Homo-oligomer: A and B are copies of this chain.
Amino acid sequence: MRLRLMEATVDCLVELGWAGTTTTVVSKRAGVSRGAQLHHFPSKQDLVVAAVGHLTERRREDMRRAAADLPETGRTRAVLEILSQQFVSPIFFAALELWVAARTDAGLRAEVAPLERRVGRETHAYAVELLAIDESRGDNRRLVQATLDLLRGLGLAASLSDDTKRRAAVLDSWAVVLDDELEVS
């Protein structure tokens, strides 16, 4: 029931945005009584923060499976593709709603900022692992950070219009840059 509520929350954020996501709408969509919803998540804030946090974890498991068969040739581009998918997925758009709402809501920000830092650290570690680099070498650490900032920027662009083709071209170029600039162990 907790999971159903969290999944309905992310669906609502994606379809209706922050303002349209009320606990009433979520309960109805999840087919859960108001009482049960309030028992699991006393406020909209509790519900939304838990939902985005939990589903981000699950999304990472999907990525882990996708990473199982990375090609030898064109590995960097394939890694960028896997990471990029995380930033154009429904869970990213749901997180974006949460993030932007938190900018002007101090109470929400107090919960969202640590969640974002944790997710950021985990995604960074995962990118390092997929790229199979030693991040203490050369400028590797900053290059990975720049890659994740780039992917976040591409995700934001994708939220407004479908720019799949442009994104693919930018990532093609970025893969070449990384292959040039990363110091491999």
- Interface residues, chain A, CB within 8 Å of chain B? 15-20, 93, 96-97, 99-105, 109, 112-113, 116-117, 139, 142-143, 145-146, 148-157, 159-161, 166, 169-170, 172-174, 176-177, 180-181
Bound: A46/B44 CA distance, A: 31
Q: Which residues of B contact A101 (CB under 8 A)?
A: 17
Bound: A174/B149 CA distance, A: 11
Question: With contacts A112-B160, A150-B146, A152-B153 known, is A104 near B170, CB below 8 A?
Answer: no
Question: With contacts A99-B159, A99-B160 known, is A149 near B176, CB below 8 A?
Answer: no
B160 & A153 in contact (Cβ 8 Å cutoff)? no
**Which residue, of A139, A150, A152, A154, has the highest number of chain B Cβ atoms within 10 A?**
A150
A139 & B173 in contact (Cβ 8 Å cutoff)? yes
Q: Which residues of B contact A145 (CB under 8 A)?
A: 166, 169-170, 173
A140's nearest neighbour on chain B, judged by CB, is B173
Question: With contacts A142-B170, A142-B173, A181-B180 known, is A159 near B17, CB below 8 A?
Answer: no
